A and B are shown apart, each in its own frame.
Chain A
Amino acid sequence: MSINWISSFDEGVQKANEEDKLILLDFFNPN
């Protein structure tokens, strides 16, 4: 199983509220 990362912060917060879950926010450098 791979991690289905969400790329929109607002969408993630909304989903966290809908599913009553915490948020893991990964700031990364693609280079």
Chain B
Amino acid sequence: MSTEYEPVIGLEIHVQLATRTKMFCGCDLSFGDPPNTHTCPVCLGLPGTLPVLNARAVHFGVLIGLALGSQIAERSLFHRKNYFYPDLPKGYQISQYDVPLCSGGSLGEVCIHRVHLEEDAAKLVHVGESGRIHGSDRSVVDFNRGGTPLVEIVTEPDLHAPDQAREWLTLLRATLKRLGVSDVNMDEGSLRCDANVSVRPVGSQQLGTKTELKNMNSFRYLERGVRAEIERQIGLLQSGGAVAQETLHFDPASDRLTPLRSKEEAHDYRYFPEPDLVPLVVTGEMHAAAQADLAELPAARAKRFEQQLGLAPDRARELAFRTELGDYYERALAADGHDPVTVANWIPQLVERIGSDADPAQSKVTPEALATLAGMVSAKEVARDAARDVLTRLVAEGGDPRTIVEERGLGSLTADDGGLTEIIDRAIAADPAAAEQVRQGNMRAVGPLVGFVMKETKGRADGGEVARLIRERVG
């Protein structure tokens, strides 16, 4: 019988902070602007220049530490991490090393090892087939990104499955978004995740040899990359091999993991304290300012949605873990005194129509419109199927659901409505056998008759009401 293996996963997350200016100079942050338009002598590493720490970045760092329940160091240090690369104009990165801003803490089931501040490298564009520096024809450097403030969040190896890692990263992303410290956009690189992966026999307390996975720039890639690496490691061990400690590059096109070349990897970074900066001291005032800015975090929000608004746990998390959904939901609730559960059930309908990554606040559907529509369904003013069409129309054109219902005559048909009774009679006439079965008490036979009516009314009638009316007519 072969050994069962347990994966052990830790994450290292780099988050670009949404400050106005860079970490150590006054250049504005930018994304997508023409190359090398946001630079100055400091972030270009020109001779004689010196770094000056961005106070806002420190504030965000403290805020993240508080949100994760970390210990905030009263005094932390910046070090120089030395290596040569064209995206690193000083020949060293200013980062925190053995005395980081935040230590410990947790988020959900995962313990946090540390959170520290550092500066981002510039962006290298490799011209040529490989897209990587080796084998490219030439490389050009865009220094706009160089010096962007980053926090690096390092977890303990507390994750044990690829989907769990993905789920947890979603929670972290929501938390950071809620704090307002970052755009946390994986496509644009403002949220980047590396994973340390090892496997061990189930029941073992010892950690296996780990590998570091890079380039997983979406939630899906993270899950796929980690899954592929776990399979690779288990395969190696089962065939009598051993896992080598190395850094692997994930290729999402093939799901393959390839070792980074040693020149890209093997470094003695020769860390030493950055003599151009003084130790970072977090005063009581700075601590209090961060505390005051601490918003309700997604985990707490989900709990509130569940306990105070009566949402099912899954729906509560679905809305709370994506800040923009939670915000949209709460605005819809505020618009009218509608039932929270009903309104909540309409959010996934909206998401389905605008795309799962889109922010509903950016759509043409105002929270007020969605709340109105949900309320109309509850009050049976519009049937559920017709309401779905109304929502589709709202997504396309915006506007007020009441107007759309009126203009397009989508209002519910009821028993008082002569038209509906007439259609029901036609349904019975068209399928007398089914009508007979209903009369004899076979309620399942009502289905085809209701279907006939729904088709004839183009969904304007309420299915339950139609079934009740059919039983009344045949009885």
Q: Is B a genuine binding partner of A?
A: no
A residues lining the B interface (CB < 8 Å): none
B residues lining the A interface (CB < 8 Å): none
